[in-house]
Structures are given as structure tokens and as C-alpha cells.
Amino acid sequence: MAIFTGAGVAIVTPFHEDGSVNYDAFKEQIELQVAGGTDAIIVCGTTGEASTLSHEEHLDVIEYCVKTVNGRIPVIAGTGSNCTETAVYLSQEAEKRGVDGILVVTPYYNKCTQKGLYEHFKIVAESVNVPMILYNIPGRTGGVLIQPQTVVDLCRNVKNIVGVKDATGNLSGVARLMHLAGGDVDVYSGNDDQIVPILSLGGKGVISVLSNVAPKQAHDICQLYFDGKVKESAALQLKSIPLIDALFCEVNPIPVKKAMNLMGLKAGVMRRPLTEMEDEHAKVLEQAMKDYGIL
């Protein structure tokens, strides 16, 4: 059984001006997601700037999210690292804090082989009892790609590896994965502009950046599809494209934090080396938000 179906939000980590975590704003954002129909919260991922959180902060943010959600929807924690031992540590500590699952990114920088990827994910998964989703995002990992057969082998051979967040952007690769998987892999879109195409191939939903600013719309794209209202789902997907493009006109999460700040959601600053959005891009984003009706 899937950890969740539908739209899970890849939630931001809000910061104060001094760079410390703004837990009051985080609580407000979690409550808005739950109220908006979000189907799961994915905390401390790419959008949550996990790469610039200390281990202590990382685990504190996870714990706070779990306690605030209080079982209303699943909480999935990003616990990946390019060091297998570190990924094991973060995964075990996240499990102790009560998460419903973990999301583990492809090791970056090391550029390991498919054998290395298989062993890395297997070791991490077997160190915990909660289900694990692989995170395939070659654009963030030096081009390292978990090949479809490796994904399938992991899901079939390691009992608590259940699926993959596919942020490759390669729909042909997703189709090959689905063909090989025969229903044994839960696939989530990692790109908001490909929700409906991946659902049409048998995907379970999306791990969404869009949901930070439009939780109901991200949820509805999925739910309409599941309800058999494919044309309505596709229409909402297509309506969302200009806003999605604006949310990725600079590296994530720079635009989505800007969008949230424009909405008064107190996402705060980015941690270095990320910087504030360029003015020309911010104007495009603001207009897209107005056109979409969220500003």
C-alpha cells in the first residue's frame, strides 16, 4: 500500500532574517497545507533547504513537523546524503521522531555506479522499519541517475523500499520504469508540470513545490484524475503551467519562497549560497501569481 496518493507538499523551511528556523511560521504553513487538502507533507527535502541545515536543525524540523501534523496526514522526511553512514543516521533518527516514511536522494558528488546506488539504498532502507521512497533527481546529483531496472530491483528485493520520486523530467524513462515494474513501484512526479502525464502512466501522485502556494489546486489535479475527470484534471494542470514555470525560473526554492513572502506566508530568507530572487524574475512571478488568482 502506498504511503500516500495525491499531492504531497515539498514544504519549505521558513527562516528568520538571522537565518534561524521560524517555527511559528512553519506551524502556520503546515496548518494551511492540511486545511488545503494536501495529502502528505515531505519535510527537509530540496525545497526545505536540507543541505544547509545542521543535523540538529534537520532533526528538530522533522520532529516539529511530526508533532504539529499529529497524525492527520503522512509526514515523510528527507534523510538522504552522499555518505551512506550519514543517511543511515538521519533515517534512524527521523524514525525515532515518528515519521511515516523517508525520502532518500541519490548520492551526489561521489558519482557511484548502479551497484553502488543499489547497495547505498539497501543499507539505508534496512536500517529502519518505515517505508522509503527513492529520490531520482539527476539535475541535483551531478547527473547520477537511478536506472529503471535498479529502481525495480530495489523495490522488489528490499521490503520497505516502496517507490520513487521521479524528477528526471524524462517521461519516456518513466514509461520504461512502469513497464518493467509491473505495479511493484509507486511513482510520484517530482515535477509539477508533469503530474497528469505521470498519473496517466500509473503514478500515485506528486511531491509538489506548487502546493506551497496552491495546495488545493495541486491536490485537485490529482483528485480529479483519480475521480475519472481526466479532462478537468488536465485543464487545471495546463492552467497551472505559467505559474509553475515562474516557480522554477530560478533554482528551487528561491522563487517559491519569494511567492510565499508575497502572499504573507513568512517563508523568510534563503540560506547561502542561495540568494534573493532577481527583480526581473520576481516581476514575472508576481504577474503569474495574479493571473492564477492567488495574489
Positions marked active-site: 135, 165
Q: The C-alpha cell of 41 is what?
A: 507533507
Helices and strands in the chain: count of H runs, count of E runs? 11, 8
Query: Nearest-CA neighbor of 130 among 79, 55, 60?
Result: 79
Cell 528538530, located at residue:
60
**Whether 171 contacts 194, CB under 8 Å:** yes
Beta-carbon count within 10 A of 164 CB: 28
**Whether 7 contacts 43, CB under 8 Å:** no
**Whether 149 contacts 178, CB under 8 Å:** no
State the virtual CA torsion across 96, 156, 193, 274 in degrees, nearest 10. 40
Query: Nearest-CA neighbor of 217 among 262, 209, 185?
Result: 209
Q: The C-alpha cell of 36 is what?
A: 488545503
* CA geometry: angle 86, 40, 62, nearest 5 deg: 35
**DSSP per-residue letters across 23-46:** HHHHHHHHHHHHHTT-SEEEESST
Task: Please state, in angstroms and rounded to a whole number, the distance separating the CA atoms of residues 258 and 227.
Answer: 33
Task: Please state, in angstroms and rounded to a whole number, the distance separating the CA atoms of residues 28 and 24.
Answer: 7
The backbone torsions φ and ψ at residue 93, rounded to the nearest 5 degrees and listed phi first, read -70, -35
**Whether 218 contacts 11, CB under 8 Å:** no
Beta bridge partners of 196: none
